[in-house]
Structure 1
Amino acid sequence: MKMLQTGIKEIESADELQKVISENENVMVCCGRMGPMCIPVYDAMEELEEDREDVKFYSMAFDNPEAHVIRNAPEAQGFMGLPFTMYYKNGNVAHATSSIQSMDQITSVLDNKLN
């Protein structure tokens, strides 16, 4: 059941997340809620999805119990603000951010960590 109403594909289980990151070289997953800190990130991802064919963009509902794989990831330790955004390269976490991110910040991560 989709919990977030975004224009990007939503991951609903830890197994699905594992499958996505193992089958795709570059993946960005925004784990959040429908709130003011998260929506701008989803919007940026929707826009980037059109230009970045080398990256797969997904959302995951922060309150979904299955999102524990992102909430409890070592890379997210100490994160305070939503969303938690994970960037995966070849099945591993390449970068992680918390709180709102601008288009420039996201693009910079994509260029520097997933190229």
Structure 2
Amino acid sequence: MNSWIEALVALFLLAGSLFALIGAIGLYRLPDFFMRLHAPTKSTTLGVGGMVIASLIYFSSRGDGLSLHELLITLFLFITAPVSAHMLAKAALQQKVRLSDKTHGRPWEQ
């Protein structure tokens, strides 16, 4: 394998790992449900996407042809994460989940 392909795979793995770490830290540190909802749906999705792209590059460069499994995983991930986050947010709005003082907007108090 060429060294530039290895460097590209390493770059995507590092970037994906960094985004996943930031998402995990955000999930742990943010004070309420609505703030915590952003961590797994935004940064962790990008993190897993970066790792899957690294896998796509690695297995496609081995000479077996283009690896489409990773493209399907990425497509499924990028479609389902926002939909599930929207459903969780709507359910939390209906249940009037307790908010932190730092959260802006109180949609059920209008």
Superposition TM-score, scaled by structure 2 size: 0.28
Q: Which has the larger radius of gyration?
A: 2
Greater helix fraction, Structure 1 or Structure 2: 2
Task: Choose between structure 1 and 2: higher strand proportion.
Answer: 1
